[in-house]
């Protein structure tokens, strides 16, 4: 019997579903919008999950009874009340064997072969979690600035870049190329023109892609941008240290898996250096790991684990090759 597995990765901006067999052959994939129910409500989140799942199954030409196991990894699955809410909806889907974890856990599995260590998420938002050798799991943060999180997600960095450009322009901070880069990126000639237009329009939220402008400025040596990203790295390191202290019994060196667009796509050395130093200053020996595969494959690997199926290099390569082919077709 050949086992067929499906992994679903649901976040604040998109949902991916992937179906593969136990040899790593990618059979189908599906995409939809946000499935973090804390963002858009349980009904819309569930509808987006259904859309991604249905598309993947149609492409694979499979029915629900063909699937051996389904693994959901969803942003917003943080507390027991979240798990209960989500499971009550997921149970209405026609799958016999399935499991639900927070999307942090698929990130950890993707980067750590032993599925132990710490995972740090910095995408549109942030989160930190870990799993030790006894299977115990803890989470630090993920609930926003008011509940202790640093300003380190993509949206928060974009807001900080905009705010810092205003402060620099008004001589409340050091000179910065952000005062030229940000207005230009947003279609204005000057800070004053942008400032007046945004105030007239009552703008209270900026384009999250300003985080990219911030990264570029830092790479070009802008001191204000470097300081912002150093602070982000320090905050990530503090979150990792919290997980390590709360969890204990971790392998040495401790795998620190970095996921989310800020870390996986940005890979900014300013952030990574500050992150590493913050953890190592606590006396921890670590290994920074940045997965290059899409997070949905972490869910697929967790499905393999549930069925006690081996995951070889050959299987991982087939999954990746299938995804690359998909990227070319898309």
Domains of the chain: 4-96+293-329 (3.30.420.40), 114-291 (3.30.420.40)
DSSP state of 276: H
What is the b/e burial string over 298-325, where b = at least 16 CB atoms within 10 angstroms of the residue's CB?
A: bbbbbbbeeeebebeeebeebbbebbee
Distance of CA 13 to the CA centre of its chain: 10
Strands 69-74 and 98-102: parallel
Kindly state the tokens that stand for 134: 């006894």
Cα–Cα dist 144/204, whole Å = 17
Strand order, beta sheet including 137-140: 137-140, 126-131, 117-122, 254-259, 286-289
Instruction: Give the relative orientation of helices 296-306 and 313-329 as an angle to the nearest 10 degrees.
Output: 140
What's the pLDDT score for residue 326? 62
160 vs 156: CA distance, rounded Å: 6
How far is residue 249 from each of residues 129, 135, 179, 215, measured CA to CA in Å?
Answer: 14, 10, 47, 35
Helix, strand, coil proportions of the chain in percent (round to 5)?
50, 20, 35
Cα within 13 Å of Cα(243), Cβ side: 32
Local confidence pLDDT in tens for the 330 residues of the chain: 799 999 999 988 899 999 999 999 999 999 999 999 999 899 999 999 999 999 999 999 999 999 999 999 999 999 999 999 999 999 999 999 999 999 999 999 999 999 999 999 987 778 899 999 999 999 999 888 888 888 888 889 999 999 999 999 999 999 999 999 999 999 999 999 999 999 999 999 999 999 999 999 999 999 999 999 999 999 999 999 999 999 999 999 999 999 987 888 778 899 999 999 999 999 999 999 999 888 899 999 999 999 999 999 999 989 888 877 665 444
pLDDT of amino acid 55: 97
* DSSP annotation of 113: T
How many Cα atoms are found within 13 Å in the side-chain-facing hemisphere of 228?
34
In this prediction, residue 327 carries a pLDDT of: 57
118: closest CA among 243, 16, 234, 22?
Answer: 243
Rounded to two decimals, the pTM is 0.89
- With H, G, I as helix, E, B as strand and everything else as coil, classify residue 21: strand
List CB contacts of 313: < 8 A, sequence separation 6 or more: none
* 300 CB-near residues (< 8 Å, 6+ apart): 5, 6, 7, 18, 20, 71, 319
Supply 234's token pair.
Answer: 């320090």
């Amino acid at each position: 019997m050949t086992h067929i597995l499906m992994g679903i990765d649901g976040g604040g901006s998109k949902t991916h579903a992937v179906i593969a067999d136990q040899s790593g052959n990618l059979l189908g994939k599906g995409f939809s919008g946000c499935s973090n129910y804390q963002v858009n409500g349980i009904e819309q989140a569930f509808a987006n999950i259904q859309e991604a799942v249905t598309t993947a199954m149609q492409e694979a030409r499979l029915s629900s009874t063909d699937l051996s196991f389904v693994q959901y990894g969803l942003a917003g699955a943080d507390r027991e009340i979240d798990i209960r809410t989500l499971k009550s909806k997921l149970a209405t889907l026609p799958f016999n064997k399935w499991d639900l974890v927070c999307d942090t856990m698929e990130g950890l599995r993707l980067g750590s072969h032993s599925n132990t260590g710490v995972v740090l998420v910095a995408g549109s938002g942030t989160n930190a979690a870990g799993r030790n050798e006894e299977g115990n799991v803890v989470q630090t943060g993920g609930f926003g600035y008011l509940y202790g999180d640093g300003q380190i997600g993509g949206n928060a960095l974009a807001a900080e870049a905009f705010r810092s450009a205003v402060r620099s322009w008004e001589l409340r901070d050091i000179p910065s190329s952000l005062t030229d880069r940000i207005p230009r990126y947003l279609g204005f000639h000057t800070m004053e023109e942008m400032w007046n237009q945004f105030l007239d329009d009552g703008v209270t939220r900026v384009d999250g892609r300003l985080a990219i402008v911030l990264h570029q400025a830092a790479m070009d040596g802008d001191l204000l941008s470097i300081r912002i990203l150093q602070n982000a790295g320090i905050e990530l390191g503090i979150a990792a240290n919290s997980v390590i202290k709360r969890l204990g019994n971790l392998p040495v060196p401790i795998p620190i898996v970095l996921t989310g667009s800020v870390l996986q796509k940005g890979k900014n050395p300013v952030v990574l250096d500050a992150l590493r130093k913050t953890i190592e200053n606590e006396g921890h020996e670590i290994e920074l790991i940045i997965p290059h595969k899409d997070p949905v494959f972490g869910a697929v690997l967790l499905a393999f684990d549930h069925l006690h199926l081996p995951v070889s290099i050959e299987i991982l390569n087939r999954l990746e090759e299938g995804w690359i082919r998909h990227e070319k077709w898309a």
